Amino acid sequence: MEKRKSPEHDSPPYYSSCKKSLETNDLSKKQKEVGKIAKKTSYFLLKKCGTMDTDFPKYFADAESTFDEAHFIIYGVPYDKTSTFRKGAKDAPKTIRQASWNFETYNIKTDVDLKDIKIHDYGDLDVKNNIPETMIKKTWMFTSKLLDKKKFPIALGGEHSITSGIIKAFPRDIAVLSLDAHIDFRQQYGDEKYNHACAIRRIAEHTGTQNIAVLGIRSADKDELKDAKKSNLLYVDAYTIRKMGIHHAIETIDKHFEKKQIYLTLDIDVIDPAYAPGTSTPEPFGITPFDVLDCIDFFSSKIIGFDVVEVCPSYDHGETSILAAKLIRHLIEVVWKKRYA
């Protein structure tokens, strides 16, 4: 197997937790070595993943391009201030990056080698301690900059509230596909407007409800669901997907969105907790990782941005971060094939 290249990035201005190690020569040298060893044997890696906090390269594996040359920009939005049940999603950008080192650069499913794709890992936005409004604004501004430069944004949450900040950077007439166990359509949660339970409602203020579809739900407040129906929010619940199959759901959504470009937001809790236990608000009877793959594959020619939210490492044994990292890699590969190859 080929060895990993060492990190040779521009110094990302928003790096917070990663900043020190990238700027310190010693650690940076150490990272280079670890990057090389990490690719030598996956056993080494698996061992490392067990502890998760060792000397891992701090960037997403194979994100070796500079900001200017990259098509895809990965950035962390480490935020979990509004999480209602379990906190810890702010640590997910780090563990997803670590998990990304588990994989071969080549993917037999897509027949793409990630080495051939220009990806840059920008590091994390400095939002951890902000009030939700400030986090939203920073995420919005940063994503706008990426879109101005014709980059494809890939955000690592953080909780689901980050997505409305990202969406504000896009034109209002895009479609938003949310894969989620929850409908997230509350007007507010407590007195909080930007709570993660209100994500879709906030997104709808930008795109309109008619441009949103939520797939995989199996949890909603009674009034919330009533409200969603009244607002004509398209959703397909997990029980219907189980009965009719994922392709039926995909076709329903495809018809609804017509030819629109699609922003895809993946709340990892849409996947059954048996596959993805490390999440803030787990909900049984979820869809499978293969269902998510099918969605990504089907819409790959229309997808214009992506985020993975609600991974919560403190309730994980590594498998949820691994799954998130693999799905990100897969999405990059299939989108690249359709748009840039």
Binding letters toward Mn ion, positions 257-286, x by CB under 5 A: ----------x-x-----------------
| Residue 155 backbone dihedrals phi, psi, to 5 degrees | -100, 140
How far apart are alpha carbons 137 and 266 in whole angstroms?
21
How far apart are alpha carbons 16 and 187 in whole angstroms?
32
By CB under 5 A, residue 159 contacts Mn ion: no
CB of 93 to Mn ion, least distance (A): 17
Site size with Mn ion, rule: CB under 5 A: 7
Question: How far lies 205's CA from each of 64, 159, 199, 209, in Å?
Answer: 36, 19, 10, 8
How far apart are alpha carbons 241 and 257 in whole angstroms?
18
Closest to Mn ion by CB, 7 or 289: 289
Closest to Mn ion by CB, 76 or 157: 157
| Long-range contacts at 47-54 (CB < 8 A, ≥ 24 apart) | 48/98, 48/101, 49/98, 49/99, 49/102, 49/318, 49/322, 50/318, 52/95, 52/98, 52/313, 52/318
CB of 268 to Mn ion, least distance (A): 8
Q: Which of 4, 128, 160, 330 binds Mn ion (CB under 5 A)?
A: 160
Closest to Mn ion by CB, 81 or 160: 160
CB of 1 to Mn ion, least distance (A): 37
Binding letters toward Mn ion, positions 86-115, x by CB under 5 A: ------------------------------
Q: What is the CA radius of gyration of the chain?
A: 19
CB 214 within 8 A of CB 178: yes
CB of 189 to Mn ion, least distance (A): 12
Closest to Mn ion by CB, 48 or 182: 182
Q: How far is CA 85 from the centre of its chain?
A: 20
CB of 88 to Mn ion, least distance (A): 15
Binding letters toward Mn ion, positions 170-199, x by CB under 5 A: ----------xxx-x---------------
How far apart are alpha carbons 93 and 246 in whole angstroms?
28
Question: How far lies 280's CA from each of 27, 165, 226, 260, 277, in Å?
Answer: 32, 20, 25, 31, 9
Closest to Mn ion by CB, 117 or 197: 197
Closest to Mn ion by CB, 51 or 314: 314
- Amino acid identity, position 236: V
Binding letters toward Mn ion, positions 116-155, x by CB under 5 A: ----------------------------------------
How far apart are alpha carbons 262 and 211 in whole angstroms?
9
CB of 109 to Mn ion, least distance (A): 26
User: Comparing C-alpha atoms, which of 162, 187, 204 is closest to residue 310?
Assistant: 162
CB of 196 to Mn ion, least distance (A): 6
CB of 195 to Mn ion, least distance (A): 10
Q: 313: which DSSP letter?
A: G
Closest to Mn ion by CB, 110 or 281: 281
Residues that bind Mn ion (CB under 5 A): 160, 180-182, 184, 267, 269
